[in-house]
Structure 1
Amino acid sequence: MQNNPNTTLVTPIAPIATTTHGGRAKCLQRLSRLDLPVPTTVALSFDAVHDIANGHLPDIEAILGEFPQDALLCVRPSSEDPDWGGPSAILNIGMNDARYEVLCATLGTDAASALFTRFVQSYAIHVDRLDPDMFDDVTGEGPGALQQVLQAYEVEQEIPFPTTRAEQLAGVLKSMARAWEGTSARLLRQAKGAPADAGLGLVVQQMAYGVGQGECGSGVLQLVSSKTGLPQITGRYLRQSQGRDALLGDASLFISRDPRGPSLEECVPDCFAQLVEHARLMRTRLREEMQVEFTIENGELHILDGVRVARSSRAAVRIAVQLARDKVIPIQDALMRIEPGTLNELLHRQVDRHAKRDVLGTGIAASPGAATGKLVFTATEAQASAARDEDCILVRRETSPEDIRGMHAAKAIITERGGITSHAAVIGRGIGLPCVVGVGDIRFQTRKSQLLTKDGRVIPAGETVTVDGTNGVILLGAPEMQEAALDDAFQDLMDWADAERDIGIRANADTPADAQTARNFAAQGIGLCRTEHMFFEPGRLTVMREMIFAETSDDRRAVLERLLPMQRTDFVQLFKIMQGQPVCIRLFDPPLHEFLPTDRDGQHGLADALGLPLSDVIRRVEAMVEYNPMLGLRGVRLGVTVPEIYEMQARAIFEATIEASRDGDPVEPEIMIPLVSAKREVELVKSRIDAIAAAVRTEKGTDFTFRLGVMVETPRAALRAGDIAQHCSFLSFGTNDLTQMTYGLSRDDAGRFMSDYVRQEVFDEDPFHSLDIDGVGELLTLGAQRGRTSRPGITLSLCGEHGGDPESIAFCRAAGFDYVSCSPFRVPVARLAAAQLAIGHKIQ
């Protein structure tokens, strides 16, 4: 038995592995190596359990031969990953009339009756698959209840309850094996990330009763808080109980001394001290914080199992970091133990996992975090709420650049339309604002300023709701929250990540506040500053509209002269915040019609502001309408046809460079041309920017340097990167638009059907969420190769929202990119993901 690879006695040298016998079996072997008081155990491998499911039992008598003849047994599941679950444990196998009589004499009639009764009910429900309702008429306790249970079983099955230990054990093994391989169980564990062919091991263990006449009971103990990860001896102990009963009953004792009631430490101090010592040994030798499952039988301690402590994201970071600080594990191991995406829960407030939830609707989780406030339906109302110091939630069918101030004033955003890279999603992630988009199961009745849920509830403006942007849920009311936790453990983890990673991490930042957040999260500069958002401030918007209505180049320049000092001030602030770090500024990108009012009231106001007839304003607005503005007159196309805008921005950048460099490290700005598709576009814009640079140097009598590059976001730019690179210092791939153009998908509308496409396996994943390696990735690869062939020293980067996605970072690293840039609040996620990639590469 000891050397049988499929049915083996658990000893320190037995042939047991997690991949063949499961995590529980391997843990029990490790506990036996530590000489802990673990009951005798036999482990069945995945192959053995698979054979059982197919009708081929192992040698039952050989298994039983490893245990005393009078021992009761239990069978527990042992999957490779405990999160994959498994069938319920069955306790007290071997109970029959003869064994019952013996136990009555040693444990007492009530205790023996409780053991037998529990076993019969468990066997009936989990092994024979009988309806639990068959025991509803059982009353009382002790021998009387036992006889009722046995009689109910016999009536239902039309045969007496099985009496031999071999027959009972065989029934349990067959039931658990078949349950694991059933369709429902397979689908359930696949939903938890298990492969379709995941195996199950089983462990057969001698029972430590936990009931009897002396000090008996069962419980669990751990050394840290599952919520915070801080040192705290926690757990429960229940006298006269088995298994994990202590976690279910109100009669449980505390583990350590507690003013709220009696504890194991006070009642059984010797066992408590042993438990704590065993848990500390397990932490050191198993290199993990473990929860100890134990039983006390007549004052004697038995360790039944050790499982990894359940933990929140906050606790996971604290536990991993503390293990590394204590030199229990290497720093690299600590970094690899944290799933990068879980850091989002530390960076933002979250709805407490135990809070009651009244769900109004669901959508796409576009920006993590949670916030509570009163519903408002316009950006103006959001600003008014902020002025009254009232928290509000902004509801829009979809947001536009005009909503920027309202978005900054709100605590969260809900939109009816949009996907993971829609305007609301991108801005929300950039400023750390919880956001749920594409909410399809709520009717947005914006004219009535109300929401209509699918169950018929009307949610009017002013109603308090909570947006859970982490899970894509809208809740009624104000559930309990858990605050963000950027503590010393988080900072240590980030410092260790920076020491390991080998690709740069920058942030996308449009405002000084964004830049400060990026700096706080140790971004290595700004990889994308979208300047258009700076023009939507009320004082600037009117000037911008006046420029759009200007008839001649000189008139446009005259108007832009008024915008120049405002733009220069923006850049000075950015440069000073990021002092010594690179700042990549994207020149003006959106179509001009976005700055014009679309409603009649707004057009009246514009006519009054500009002193023009309303008919002229309406005619001009209508003339600027494009059938497909995202593919129309925007980006570099504006820079070529309306060059005055780029000239003003270049001057503002250069004058800000000189001013910000006076009091600190020299600033070297990076200027990025958007939406390029032809080499000639770059030549035209470059010549004008060079001329502005020369003029500013002469006027100011000060020299400065800058870098000019291109945002590669059209397929043609990627394919012609070799030509374009001749005029550039860097190529930054904007994968939001590049994905949109490659697929022919609107990133704002794709959310309506994307879940159906992923579910039906048209796409493996939403390409706006995780980079499409096969299609868009090939364009990136071609662009990078051709750019570097033409200009070997050129800098390559990715500045779309994919920059914060670990899988996309892996692609960029493998392709030799210099850095990725993402929303400020995703910078820590990217730093950790990059470190894990570098560590994984060294291990291979």
Structure 2
Amino acid sequence: MSNKRVYLFREGDKSMRDLLGGKGANLAEMSNIGLPVPPGFTITTEVCTEYYASGKKLPAGLMEEIETALKDVEKDQGKTLGDPNNPLLLSVRSGAKFSMPGMMDTVLNLGLNDQVAEGMIAKGADPRFVYDSYRRLIMMLSDVAFGDRYEGISKHDFEHQFYDLKAELGVKEDLEVSADKLKELCERYKAYVQSKGVTFPQDAREQMKEAVEAVFRSWNNERAIIYRRREKIDDAIGTAVNIQAMVFGNMGDDCGTGVAFTRNASTGDKEVFGEYLMNAQGEDVVAGVRTPLDLNELKLQNPIIYNEFVNFCNVLEHHYKDMQDIEFTIERNKLFILQCRSGKRTGTAAVKTAVDMVHECLITKEEAIARVNPDLLNQVLLPVIAPGTKYDVIAKGLPAGPGAATGVAVFDANRAAEMGKGGQGQRVILVRADTSPDDLAGMLAAQGVLTERGGMTSHAALVARGFGIPTVAGCSSIRVDAEKRQFTIGDVTIKEGDYISLNGGLGEVIHGQVPVEDAKMTGDFGTFMGWADEFRKMGVRANADSPADVRKAIELGAEGVGLTRTEHMFFEGDRRPVVVSMILDIDNPETRAAKLGELLEFQREDFKGIFEALEGRPATIRLIDPPLHEFLPNLTELTAEVAVDKAAGKSDAAKETMLRAAESMHEINPMLGLRGVRLSIVYPEIVAMQVRAILEGAASVIKAGGKAVPEIMIPLVGHVNELTTIKADLEKTAKAVEAEQGVSIPYSFGTMIEVPRGALTADEIAVEAEFFSFGTNDLTQMTFGFSRDDSDKFLKPYVERKILPGDPFESIDRKGVGQLMQIAIDKAKKVRPNIKLGICGEHGGDPSSVQFCYEIGLDYVSCSPFRVPIARLAAAQAALGKGVSDK
């Protein structure tokens, strides 16, 4: 820990972000390179940590250090804080290491009081400017310093009082309120604060102390905590406090304030763009109090200032070698730069900016790859709401499937499938309390999916990511009533047939229709991804269950299939009845054989299509995994239906037979039930049929002159004897197919490591398995004893209370699940040094998990097709050792 707690701007530089925060480090850097930055100083982030460690008390001696720094600023400005005859006014702002725009508190015009206001006016200051600045200080300081300690003090109450005053005067704009009336407003404000039990401080140093503490306290306000959680910013890093001499954009028509980016943050185009207001302070621009002007207007209004500002933009962009977000103020036709930081941008803009800066020789290709957050690529690939659209958000949930969608609300999956059949029907949004595999057809036909329950790895979210469906999941503020075909949110009721829209990237539910357009796929994207492929060393495959999925995955850069879930093929409309019929008579060998014969025809063609689409690339195909009850109607619903029939004196033999089958097959805990390799051993004919279908499909492609590389994966192995037993049977089937077809097929057998015992005995299992694929979803479930559907029940509270650092179903738990993976890898390589190693759980598309997979030596990751570019970029960043977030 540094002994120095307060740094003048000239004493720091951009390398000191940990200590001075991003804003403080950049203010120091800009000061040192000669930009017109008002002087000031920074209280370090370490003081924030001390403040909380001591029970929210400022460390002893801090105010003395602040006073020393303040004297330096006073000397520079020739003004004194609190002096009515020549007052120095200050701004007090937060500034963490990572940009958190708008999340913490700010105080402007600090040092104003009744005497200072009168003194400024006596010295010739515009009275309207003085009292406009004073009323802002009273509002801001009271809100941030006292609002959390004195019940009822709220910024909104101040704003309402100002609104009421304008209404009394019959005016709409702030600038129409006279100096006398603003002075009267200041008195109203002070009286309001007094009524809440606190006297607004007239002592400037007391104001400063209150403001510093308020900024530190704002580190843990609700919005800051939520923002950090979403952005995965460490709570422990704290915020710095920046105290700076004020410059004023509200002194008259030759003054102003604005925010601008050195490039277009939406498109990445190389053009300075932003907004500004004349005769205003900074919060007016961002708060929407007045409608700002496009920065291009400044070129006409004041070309000298505009050209000077553009020059500063170029200086900063070349100095930082990145697009900058800049705040500026004009005081009496003099330009000041108040802040710069790396500009937030869309995925499209991030890619274009990175590519352009390489071509402009500002950065290297390696730096370009490191700079783009992999998750931003979602925005490049998926539909978006047309830029500039205004819309009404009625609810927010989890951003489970990015992209935008608009359509009529439909509350039944079958109805959605019928209405949106073949993509040629009506545009629909499927709304469900939650989803199940039964809803798949409806989900695929829908433009988007909205669920009341479920987390980021719920069924809805998994399918959404796999198929690129915009989805808002776990929207707990809505109440879905499937019977009434409606959902409610507060006083709003959305009925079936009403239009709604979704912004999956932000988890927004929108009332009515919005214009949706395809994301612009530019040449920059291909160039950028080509660079990523140059640097990455780990392969990227896709989880794909159909030829169409495979083609999309390859289009997005997949090098093969890392997971084909064969049971998904059984859910298709014409196959489901065959599977159900087989299950209903599962103990009859003849019926079982006949039904499997029908399914063989379907699956053979499925695999032939997949191998043709792959064009010689490998495909890891998982044999049937889920318990058989998942193919049957829901047990609870079926039980209720039969009970209603009986109560009405009706009898439905078929339904009752189905109920008996569902009861016999139902698993209380499917993780511990008859599934995976266990199901294969009990009913070996099922997987024998699947292996035959895989290899006959491959043989067909090979005989036609193509290539097919099937990797047959046996799931859920926890003991080597399970694998030994079933593999011996399946090898016989494989040899028989080769003999019948007269071709040699380069197949291999491996297993999915998803049972902890499988990981711990990987050396035994590797004797039989030619490859491992880590099924981290199930491995996480069995390691923690959690279900991935537990998000709403306790995982969210666990993360919020820091019992867990994050949701282990979103990013691999390195200490637990990751350690099992490392053990499995080390043991397997001892007996089979060249064993192929991959991952096919949802973690394969999570950038942090991809980095971990690279570190432990996996050969490839596999993820849903639409996350393939994300995995490619994350793999490149892992290989470069750059770009991985240190938040």
TM-score above 0.5, yes or no: yes
Alpha-carbon distance in 2 for matches of 1:689, 1:157: 80
Does residue 530 in structure 1 map to residue 565 in structure 2? yes
Residue 5 of structure 1 deviates from its aligned partner by 6.2
Query: Do 2:39 and 2:73's aligned partners in 1 also have CA atoms closer than 8 Å?
Result: no
The structure 2 residue matched to 1:195, chosen from 224, 230, 235, is: 235
| Aligned partner of residue 75 in structure 1, secondary structure | strand
Partners of 1:709 and 1:701 in 2: CA distance: 24
Q: How many angstroms apart in 1 are the aligned matches of 2:41 and 2:718?
A: 68
Give the AA of the match of 1:66: D
SS at structure 2 position matched to 1:821:
strand
Aligned to 1:541: 576
**Which residue of structure 1 lines up, in the alignment, with residue 761 of structure 2?**
720
Question: For 1:332, which of 366, 387, 400 is the aligned residue?
Answer: 366
Pairing partner for 1:100 from 109, 114, 121? 121
Q: Could you tell me which residue of structure 2 aligns to residue 403 of structure 1?
A: 439
1:650: how far off?
1.7
Following TM superposition, by how much is the alpha carbon of 1:617 offset from its aligned partner in structure 2, in angstroms?
Answer: 4.5
Once structures 1 and 2 are overlaid, which stretch shifts more, 245-254 or 770-779? Answer: 245-254
How far off its partner does 1:390 sit?
A: 0.7
Change (3 A) 1:354 1:653: same
Residue type matched to 1:383 in 2?
Answer: A
1:784 aligns to what? 825
State the partner residue of 2:95.
79
- Superposition map of 1:214-613 within 5 A: 215-243=254-282, 245=284, 253-256=293-296, 263-297=297-331, 299-350=333-384, 355-359=390-394, 364-387=398-421, 389-415=425-451, 418-438=454-474, 440-446=476-482, 448-453=483-488, 455=490, 458-479=493-514, 481=516, 483-548=518-583, 549=585, 553=589, 556-596=592-632
Q: Which residue of 2 aligns with 1:58?
A: 67
Structure 1 residues 89 and 644: alpha-carbon distance in aligned structure 2, compared to 1, 3 A threshold: same
Structure 1 contact 67–206 (Cα < 8 Å) conserved = no
The structure-2 alpha-carbon separation of the partners of 1:476 and 1:654, relative to structure 1 and needing over 3 Å to count, comes to: same
Structure 1 counterpart SS, 2:262: strand
- Counterpart of 1:122, as a letter, is R
Using the TM superposition, give the Cα deviation of residue 151 of structure 1 relative to its aligned residue in structure 2, in angstroms: 6.6
User: Match for residue 260 of structure 1?
Assistant: none
Q: Give unpaired runs (5+ residues) of structure 2.
A: 49-57, 80-85, 147-152, 170-175, 229-233, 643-651
Percent identity for Structure 1 against Structure 2 = 34
Say yes or no: does 1:204 pair with 2:240. no
What is the deviation of 1:564? 2.5
Match of 2:18 in 1: 19
Contact 1:438–1:752 (8 Å) recurs in 2: no
How is 1:142-161 mapped onto 2 (pairs within 5 angstroms)? 144-145=180-181, 148=184
In the other structure, the counterpart of 2:648 is none
Q: Which amino acid aligns with 2:349?
A: A
* 1:181-238 CA distance string (max 9 Å, x none): 336755553443263462423243363666468x544444433223222233323344
Please name the residue that 1:683 is paired with.
724
Give the letter for the 1:309 counterpart: G
| Separation in structure 2 between the aligned mates of residue 147 and residue 449 of structure 1, nearest angstrom | 57
Distance 1:602 1:534, change over 3 A: farther
> Structure 1 residues 435-444 or 224-233, which shifts more?
435-444
State the partner residue of 2:231.
Answer: none
Q: Any idea what SS the aligned residue of 1:344 has?
A: helix
Q: Which is worse superposed, 264-273 or 628-637?
A: 628-637
Cα distance in 2 for partners of 1:743, 1:47 equals: 35
Deviation, structure 1 residue 826: 2.0
Which of 110, 113, 116 is residue 130 of structure 2 equivalent to? 116
Question: For the pair shown, which has the larger CA radius of gyration, 1 or 2?
Answer: 1
Aligned CA distance change for structure 1 residues 533 and 449 (closer, same or farther; 3 Å): farther
Q: How far apart, in 2, do the equivalents of 1:377 and 1:149 lie?
A: 53
Q: Distance in 2 between matches of 1:235 and 1:205?
A: 24
Distance in 2, matches of 1:500 and 1:124, equals 55
**What is the CA distance between 1:511 and its match in structure 2?**
1.3
Alignment pair present for 1:700 and 2:741: yes
1:660 to 676, 698, 701: 701
Distance 2:773 2:764 in 1: 15
CA distance in structure 2 between the partners assigned to 1:657 and 1:175 by the alignment: 74
Closer, same or farther in 2 for the Cα pair 1:46/1:740, shift >3 Å?
closer
- Give the distance between the partners of 1:720 and 1:334, measured in 2 at CA: 42
Unaligned segments of structure 1, at least 5 residues: 105-111, 257-262, 604-611
Deviation at 1:553, TM superposition (A): 4.3
**Structure 1's 831 and 353: CA in aligned 2 closer, same or farther, altered over 3 A?**
farther
Q: Is the 8 A contact 2:109 2:246 kept in 1?
A: no
Contact 1:508 1:528 in 2 (8 A): yes
Task: Give the Cα–Cα distance (whole angstroms) in 1 for the partners of residues 188 and 326 of structure 2.
Answer: 36
CA contact (8 A) 1:127 1:171 kept: no
What is the match of residue 669 of structure 1? 710
How far does the alpha carbon of each residue in 1:739-767 deviate from its partner, in whole angstroms, 9 at most, with x for none? 23333444446644432343344444333
Query: 1:539 is paired with a residue of what secondary structure?
Result: coil
* Structure 1 residues 353 and 200, CA gap change in structure 2 (3 angstroms): farther
2-structure distance, mates of 1:488, 1:339: 19
1:665 Cα shift?
5.5
Shift of 1:694: 2.3
Cα offset for 1:583? 0.6
Q: CA deviation at 1:533?
A: 1.5
Distance apart, 1:451 and its partner CA: 3.5
Query: 1:88 aligned to 96, 102, 106, which one?
Result: 106
Secondary structure at the aligned position of 2:557 is classed as: coil
Q: 1:738 to 1:231 in 2, by over 3 A?
A: same
Does 710-719 or 93-102 show the bigger shift?
Answer: 93-102
Displacement, 1:476? 3.8
Identify the range of structure 1 (175-184 vs 819-828) with the bigger mean alpha-carbon deviation.
Answer: 175-184
**1:697 to 1:191, Cα distance in 2 relative to 1, 3 A:** closer
Cα distance in structure 2, aligned partners of 1:162 and 1:417: 49
1:588-611 deviation digits (Å, cap 9, x = unpaired): 2233343345659999xxxxxxxx
* Greater displacement, 652-661 / 669-678: 652-661
One-letter code aligned to 2:351: V
How well do the aligned residues superpose, as a CA RMSD in angstroms?
4.0
What is the alpha-carbon distance in structure 2 between the residues aligned to residue 390 and residue 51 of structure 1? 64
Q: Is 1:800 matched up with 2:821?
A: no
Q: Flag the 1:279–1:589 CA change in 2: closer, same or farther, 3 A.
A: same
Look up the match of 1:181.
Answer: 216
Q: Residue 109 of structure 1 aligns with which residue?
A: none
Which amino acid is the alignment partner of residue 543 of structure 1? V
Matched-pair contact (CA < 8 Å) for 2:216–2:241: no
TM-score (structure 1 length as normaliser)? 0.85
Distance 1:201 1:577, change over 3 A: same
Q: Distance in 1 between matches of 2:599 and 2:179?
A: 91
Structure-1 separation of matches of 2:659 and 2:337: 83
Distance 2:416 2:308 in 1: 59
CA distance in 2 between partners of 1:240 and 1:842 (Å): 41
Specify the SS of the correspondent of 1:83.
Answer: coil
Match of 1:768 among 786, 809, 818: 809
Q: Which amino acid aligns with 1:24?
A: K
CA distance in 1, matches of 2:571, 2:183: 80
In 2, Cα distance between equivalents of 1:759 and 1:595: 37
Secondary structure of the structure 1 residue equivalent to 2:723: helix
- Tell me, in whole angstroms, the C-alpha distance in 1 between the residues paired with 2:189 and 2:813: 58
Alignment TM-score, normalising by the size of structure 2: 0.81
Query: Which residue identity is paired with 2:324?
Result: M
Instruction: Compute the displacement of 1:690 (Å).
Output: 2.3
Question: Do 2:248 and 2:255's aligned partners in 1 also have CA atoms closer than 8 Å?
Answer: no
Per-residue Cα deviation, 1:361-383 (whole angstroms, up to 9, x for no partner): x5554433332222333332122
